[in-house]
Amino acid sequence: MTIKLTILILTQNEEIHLERCINSVLPLETKLFLVEFFSSDNTF
């Protein structure tokens, strides 16, 4: 049985953690949604 996951990442000022977080879920073959909330760093 295959489990299908959808992952939602809510972020604000997480520039230093975001890449590691995304890379950790990529092998899961999931749908990934990223919502960024008015960061003042270089998150986006």
Q: How many residues are present in the chain?
A: 44
State residue 40's pLDDT score. 93
Give the pTM. 0.76
State residue 23's pLDDT score. 94
State residue 31's pLDDT score. 93
State residue 43's pLDDT score. 82
d(CA 39, CA 5): 26
pLDDT digit string, tens, across residues 1-44: 778 899 999 999 999 999 999 999 989 889 999 999 999 998 87
State residue 42's pLDDT score. 87
